[in-house]
Amino acid sequence: MPQNEIHSAVSVLDDTGAPQNFGWSRQPDFFYDPALIWAPRRKLSESDRYIVFNPTHIVIFEIRDDGFLGHMGVTVVSVKDKKRSTQIFQSFLPLGSYEMPPGSQSGAIRYRRKKMIVDFVTMESGARIIKADIPRFGRSRSLRGELVLTEPVPAESLVCNLPWRGEKNAFRYSRRSPWYTVEGVIQFGTTEIVFTDGNAWGIFDWNRGIRPRTDVRYWAASCGLNDGRLIGFSAGHGLIDSSAGTENAFFVDGRLHKLDQVTFHIPPVNWLSPWHFTSNDNRLEMDFHPIQERIDRRQTLFYSASRRQVYGSFSGKVVLDDGAVMDFHNLTGFAERNKTRF
């Protein structure tokens, strides 16, 4: 399927506030000003999510403003013990109060609630800093620490500006960057989770736009070292219209290799059974071996959301843009399904 790669800076919105310039890019060069949007603030959706991991743990930080309901959430997954802990702080009608930056290349998010602090800070160098201090994580533990996420050189991201089928003014402007190296320490209760260069990795998932009334989204991502090379991928599909560009790509040493449609072959009953992934251009074939599952549901009078997420490892092969075939093995990552209704 032809895809529209955008090579220069263009605006996500036209003069009337309607979405335009649909396609994908290797750099976050789109111009997006939420003040131009015609829709009321409650229809905007904004989210920043960081997934960081080492051989023993996966830690997920997420802040989301969906108009009617918002939250800051942190999840800690023990790969070895197959245990998981999640703390979510919800806000009713946040309506922009999180002050999330309109772009993914600069700015900071500072979340405060009583004695809790979570900061996402973007440096001029492209590095990202996550600071967290949560005195009460769950019933009796605390979570404190600081992480530095460093991007490779060169660094290409999968940046997409896409509409939804059947909803004229709904769109998602997104960025996926599955190639960070991570350094730092998270103190979780009595457990010290250490992230060291060459042995810890990070994925950045960033989204802005006008949400549809109903959405279903599947997404999988992973990154790590394979035969001495930094590799990763982002693969997804759902109700969004991907005719101008899919949300699928493989990354090698920071370089993006674009893929067409990717199909998730999910076991119908037990999601902890092995999954299989294929692409219609015959460039990707991989297996996913889950080790743990998380189900999260949130609901208010006007809003409902559910996320089913599984963690595990990916192995398979991919055909790169130059025709070379790369085999990869046991990359840590996750796959998920999100359902929302407003």
pLDDT digits (tens, 9 = 90+) for 103-156: 999 999 999 988 899 999 999 888 999 999 999 997 789 999 999 999 999 999
12: left (phi over 0), alpha (psi -120 to 50) or beta: alpha
Confidence of residue 83 (pLDDT cuts 50, 70, 90): confident
If you average pLDDT over residues 154-171, what whole number do you get?
93
pLDDT digits (tens, 9 = 90+) for 302-329: 778 899 999 999 999 999 999 999 999 9
Confidence of residue 11 (pLDDT cuts 50, 70, 90): very high
The secondary structure element, H or E, covering residue 324 is none
The answer to whether residue 295 scores a pLDDT higher than 80 is yes
Say if CB 56 and CB 81 are below 8 A apart.
no
CA 34 to chain centre: 21
If you average pLDDT over residues 40-55, what whole number do you get?
94
The answer to whether residue 40 scores a pLDDT higher than 70 is yes
pLDDT of residue 207: 97
Burial class for 301, CB neighbours closer than 10 Å (0-12, 13-18, 19+):
exposed
pLDDT of residue 23: 97
Please give the share of the chain, as a percent, with pLDDT higher than 70.
Answer: 100
Place of tokens 């806000």: 91
The answer to whether residue 1 scores a pLDDT higher than 60 is no
In order of 36, 81, 171, 185, the CA distances from 43 in angstroms are: 13, 40, 11, 37
pLDDT of residue 204: 98
Single-letter amino acid, residue 279: S
pLDDT of residue 297: 86
Say if CB 277 and CB 286 are below 8 A apart.
yes
Whole-model pTM: value is 0.96
Q: Mean pLDDT, the chain, as a whole number?
A: 94
Closest-CA residue to 288 (of 229, 218, 340): 218
pLDDT of residue 82: 82
Say if CB 212 and CB 235 are below 8 A apart.
no
**38 vs 184: CA distance, rounded Å:** 42
pLDDT of residue 161: 97
**105 vs 107: CA distance, rounded Å:** 7
pLDDT digits (tens, 9 = 90+) for 194-241: 999 999 999 999 999 998 989 999 999 999 999 999 999 999 999 999
DSSP 162-178: EEETTEEEEEEEEEEEE
Q: How many Cβ atoms from other residues are within 10 Å of residue 107's Cβ?
A: 14
pLDDT of residue 165: 87
